[in-house]
Amino acid sequence: MSVCRIIRKTALIGGLMGLTGVHPASAHRLDEYLQATTVDLAREGVTLRLRLTPGVDVADRVIPQIDRNGDGVISAEEQQAYAARIAHSLRVTLNGKPVSLLVNSASFPTLPAIKGGEGVIALQFSVPGRLKKGLYHLAYTNHGAGADTVYLVNCLQPQDETIQVQAQKRSADQAFYQLEFVVTQ
């Protein structure tokens, strides 16, 4: 079953559950700052999507990193600054050459949602440049936000059939990730 079909089925089931008043059990992160990254390959380039979820027990350490003036509101400037700091904490190389990341989008939950362990910060970065025919090696290192940070990283199945994932390798903690892929045309 394709990833798109799975996503559509999940959305449909979630929508039906919402209409019937049935809600799935929600889990609140506790003592970790989860940084989950997906890598999306397309002819237009490489996109990294990060979903950052501070747990209840670490939220009070993460919030001051975002709300720098401590006014209880995450301003647009603070959002941009945090997204830029996260981008600088990531190291990406493509075929051995360091690449800079462009911030495509950033969305932030409310502070109460973050404090409750349900707030997900969604960041999207792109690697500049179009993918041409050839073999590629992408290396990704997430330097994270401290000892409470845990990592997940995975590549999405490319929608373009001319892009084929050859291999994925991760460190035990998934802070370091390598991806080999080929563009056949």
pLDDT tens across 145-179, in order?
Answer: 677 899 999 999 999 999 999 999 999 999 999 99
How buried is 172 (Cβ within 10 angstroms: 0-12 exposed, 13-18 middle, 19+ buried)? exposed
pLDDT of residue 123: 98
Q: Pick the residue with more confidence: 48 or 11? A: 48
Residues in CB range of 2: below 8 A, 6 or more apart: 157
pLDDT of residue 146: 74
Cβ(81)–Cβ(68) under 8 Å?
A: yes
Cα(19)–Cα(11) distance, integer angstroms: 12
pLDDT tens across 99-158, in order?
Answer: 999 999 999 999 999 999 999 999 999 998 999 999 999 999 998 767 789 999 999 999
Cα(51)–Cα(37) distance, integer angstroms: 6
- Torsion of Cα atoms, 67 then 107 then 126 then 44, to 10°: -170
pLDDT of residue 144: 75
pLDDT of residue 145: 66
Domain ranges of the chain: 27-183
Residue 43: name the closest of 183, 166, 165, 143 by CA.
183
Cα(109)–Cα(47) distance, integer angstroms: 22
Q: Phi/psi at 58 (nearest 5 deg)? A: -110, -5
Strand duo 149-155 + 33-42: pairing: parallel
pLDDT tens across 18-49, in order?
Answer: 444 444 445 556 889 999 999 999 999 999 99
